[in-house]
Each structure stands twice: as C-alpha cells, then as structure tokens.
C-alpha cells in the first residue's frame, strides 16, 4: 500500500518509496512495478501523474484523478509555479548556501525518440541550496584518511530531467547513492558502513495552488525510514527536523 499524503475529488498525493518507477519506461524494461499501476489498483480508479520523481528518489508525488486536472496541474509545474523542497546527502562540505545557474542539455523521455527529432540543446536550469549539517568521518575513501559529507536542502527553480543530480555533480558535491552522476567509492562506503544502498535524495515538501479553489496547498513527506536511519547514524536528526518544521509553519493548508 502506498502511503497517501493528501486526497480530494480531483487530486491525490502519495509518498513514493525509493526504487519505484512512476510509470513504465523502455529504459528499465525488466521492472514490473510502477506507482501509476499500484495507486490505480489501491484506490480503484485511474490516476494521471502530473510530474516525476526519479526511480531512486523518494517523497511527495502528485497525481490528478481526471485528464482536465492533469492538464491544469501540469501547467503549474511547467511554469515553475510549484515550490518544491528536497533534502540530499552529498559528498564534501558545501558552503552555507549556494546558487547554481548552469544550463543542462535536454534529456527527453524514451517515447520522444520514436518517430521524431528532439532538440537536446542546453536549457536554463537553476537550483538553490542551503546546508543543514556537516560531518567528517574517520573513514578512508580514495586517498584521504577521512571523508566529509553534507546534508542539504535543495530548491529547484526549473524542472529539468535529473536536474538536482546533475547540478550537484557540476559543483563537485554529488549525491550519495547516485550510480550515474556520483562517486562509486563513496556509494560503496555508505553501503558497507551504514547499510544505505539507495539514492539519498527525497522530496519532502511541495507548495502549490489548488486549481479548483485557488487556495495554497502544502504536501509534506518527511524522509522515509531508510533515509532517516542514515540521518540518525550521522547525528543530523535535529537539523533535519528543524528544516521540516519550517515548511510546516508556512501557514498553508496541509496535506
């Protein structure tokens, strides 16, 4: 059963676990479980995803319950009218705060390659971050006797595919558990020492305007247990909970 964060007559939001695809894709042909199908079977009606989370990313995932609402909500995401907050564990000690303005080449969906030519020219991409906590571990990784890591809150202002993972790689602070853009030695160290084998990226809050009422809606998804176990081992729970409380005190309707 997928945890439901919010539901009304036209929208439903779930807490997607790490490792679950949103929908079927030719890029992962062997996968047989998808959030769209699981949620449809769970609630007994068709659902329409209005945005994506990567397979490895956990957190708030929003669906429409009819095509018209799907179109209206998709417009909000395309126009960057949805405020999203993520948390991530990255390699190295980051600055207290940072602004990443780095265009990214377009990475189209697999279906877009069928029967058409897709423009892959770089598109504007902007991400802000702030550092919630840091740690230095007495564990040798690569050529250093100790290793450093940071807990970040991330705010993407554009919605490019794999934007956060690619932006953090660009500033040399890749997300732990990222097999494509990360560092294998650090990923293996987290698996061996902490039992963490997932991408350490989670969408913890989303603010949007409900198309029917125009009222603000806050969807909250505190990190899943497997993420929080790692946070506890690194002594970061208080810093993370302070950030999550900041979202809850925004004064919007809560899901």
> Which residues participate in catalysis according to the annotation?
54
Q: Which are the contacts of 63, defined by CB distance < 8 A and separation ≥ 6?
A: 11, 12, 13, 14, 36, 39, 47, 48, 49, 50
Rounded CA-CA distance 226/73 in Å is 30
Rounded CA-CA distance 142/82 in Å is 39
**Packing angle of the helix pair 225-233, 184-194 (nearest 10 deg):** 90
Q: Which are the contacts of 143, defined by CB distance < 8 A and separation ≥ 6?
A: none
Instruction: Give the residues across from 58 on adjacent strands.
Output: 202
Q: Residue written as tokens 């806050």?
A: 218
């Amino acid at each position: 059963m997928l945890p439901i964060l919010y539901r009304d007559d036209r929208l439903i939001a779930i807490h997607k676990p790490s490792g679950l695809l949103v929908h079927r894709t030719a890029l992962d042909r062997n996968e047989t479980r998808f959030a769209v199908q699981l949620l449809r079977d769970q609630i007994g009606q068709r659902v329409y995803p209005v945005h994506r989370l990567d397979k490895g990313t956990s957190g708030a995932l929003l669906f429409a319950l009819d095509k018209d609402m799907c179109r209206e909500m998709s417009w909000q995401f395309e126009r960057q009218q949805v405020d999203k907050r993520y948390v991530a564990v990255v390699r190295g000690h980051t600055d207290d705060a940072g602004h990443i303005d780095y265009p990214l080449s377009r990475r189209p969906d697999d279906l877009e390659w069928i029967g058409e030519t897709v423009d892959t020219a770089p598109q504007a991409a902007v991400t802000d971050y702030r550092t919630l906590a840091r740690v230095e571990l007495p564990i040798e990784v690569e050529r250093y006797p100790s290793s450093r890591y940071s807990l970040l809150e991330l705010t993407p202002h554009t919605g490019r595919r794999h934007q956060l993972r690619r932006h953090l790689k660009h500033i040399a602070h890749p997300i732990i558990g990222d097999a494509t853009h990360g560092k294998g030695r650090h990923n293996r160290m987290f698996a061996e020492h902490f039992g963490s084998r997932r991408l350490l990226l989670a969408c913890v809050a989303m603010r949007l305007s409900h198309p029917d009422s125009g009222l603000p809606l806050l969807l909250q998804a505190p990190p899943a247990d497997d993420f929080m176990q790692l946070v506890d081992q690194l002594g970061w729970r208080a810093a993370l909970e302070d950030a999550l409380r900041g979202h809850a005190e925004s004064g919007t309707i809560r899901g």
